[in-house]
Amino acid sequence: MTLEGILPVWKPAGFTSHDVVAKVRRILSIKRIGHTGTLDPQVTGVLPLCIGRATRMVEYIQELPKEYEAVLRIGLSTDTEDMTGTVLEEVPLVSLDEAQVRKVLESFVGDIEQIPPMFSAVKVDGKRLYELAREGKEVERKARKATIHELEILELNLDQKHPEIRFRAVCSKGTYIRTLCVDIGKVLGYPAVMESLIRTSTGNIRKEQCLTFEQIVQMKEEGSLQQHMIPMDIAISHIPSIALTDQETVHSLQGKKIALAANRVAHADASQTIFRAYSPDERFLGLFEWKSTSHVLVPAKVFL
């Protein structure tokens, strides 16, 4: 049986996202695999892999909010904004109280701007920042918008030399938790660094669903791996759905535009909206774009 769908992998420390893809390719002997969001090597957590035709879903899963658990250490800074880097500054004494910390973290909820760290994959003039950083260069970076949907303190240890704050963050694609930690420290009046980070979910794919490399190997040998994979349309269940008739299903699989009455598109509140389309027997047909001006569904990604 050909494997297809979203494989929720638990990324271990020491692997890049590309390393994970390469290892799973070897385990499954499948070339068509794509990951849905880069994680730094020292970061562990949820890394959904799109297998087979599901690679066409990568861009939609990448856009989903991510959830993280992080530990922020206050009182020192590094050139990488995490504990893998060289210490640049350290203060002998940090004095903070809980009310102060809570107020500052609350101020970061909503739309924020971040300057990408030098040790990141952002490209400037065709070269990745981390490549420039390894050459000892620092270049000007433009601020980028991010959204912090939720920020919850999980644990406070404020009585030690370098206080620690463990928090949960739900944020938009492209948010740098390292930079968030540094910026929180700045508002508190101290240098700060991200001590550790775990990604606990990507969209509706949570850590409890994830498989280790060892489990993937075992399930492949048992022939049970497909049942642990997430169907591609379920992984993008945030996209509204629409049911087509038999005739419309035939036309959809032929890549034709489908004329629809506007009242059948209940979620059409924008000029262009993506829908998951289903046949009368509830088979996922693909993604279609609703054109409100002409009242037609246009094929975006059709699965024959």
Catalytic residues: 40
- Measured CA to CA, the distance from residue 8 to residue 54 in angstroms comes to 13
- Measured CA to CA, the distance from residue 170 to residue 236 in angstroms comes to 18
Neighbours of 172 (CB within 10 A): 16
Instruction: Give first-to-last CA distance, the chain, whole Å.
Output: 17
Residues 6+ away with beta carbon under 8 Å from 66? 37, 170, 171, 172, 173, 175, 199, 201, 202
Chain centroid to CA 204: how far? 11
**Three-state SS across 93-156?**
CCCCCHHHHHHHHHCCCEEEEECCCCCCCCEECCEEHHHHHHCCCCCCCCCEEEEEEEEEEEEE
Residues 6+ away with beta carbon under 8 Å from 186? 192
What is the length of the chain? 304
Single-letter amino acid code for the residue at 34 = G
